[in-house]
Structure 1
């Protein structure tokens, strides 16, 4: 787990709250059956978001909190900035997870609020049970 911890510390140091206005407070790593390259943003509360990055068969959820409410109009620029800044660290983390054969899914960093914990534990349980993380909706 030493390589994973080192990669996690590198990711934490890359995401400077002074630069982004957000503080990384949680990280969940999971595996998917189907490899893909994807990202999603989840709005958990007015000042808490989760960015999901999937690279190949590994998914990393980054939970962030802000001291202020996050305006939805800022999401496109915010996501672009977070992906750009976090991608090298996420790649290193994924490499470390694979090298150490870390059993997953697993929360590897947790300084989250109760709302973020509830959200990420729901995601964790969906991965454990093989259910889709994204809720499907029917077209009207």
Structure 2
């Protein structure tokens, strides 16, 4: 039987410019993403949809969630398999198709760059990405392909 976990957040729209949603151009897309005891994340829509470019948009947050989930599973798997990771940076790229009905993500590609403690760990470090991908809760929950193109090097 699956163990269930419940997550909560509070999303508060802060973009009322005095007239509410009187028309498409009359309101701001600004909002706050909050959860108990955590810093608030300033959100908006993508600038292509009249959003504030200084705030996080849902598409960025979805991509970040996929990348974070992969990172956390990967670090766990490396730790239990004797691979010492000394550095990890990912620059994921997500692609979204805008359609008359709205839009949808068509793909996400993770581009993690990892450094491990020794040359003898590189092969195993590369292989563990497939396991991390299979284990990632977020990648398993989306309806578009998520792939990864890791680069692993050994510390000098």
Q: Same fold (TM over 0.5)?
A: no
Output the TM-score relative to the length of structure 1: 0.33
Hey, which of these two has a bigger chunk of strand by percent?
A: 1
Q: Which has the larger radius of gyration?
A: 2
Hey, which of these two has a bigger chunk of helix by percent?
A: 1
Output the TM-score relative to the length of structure 2: 0.30
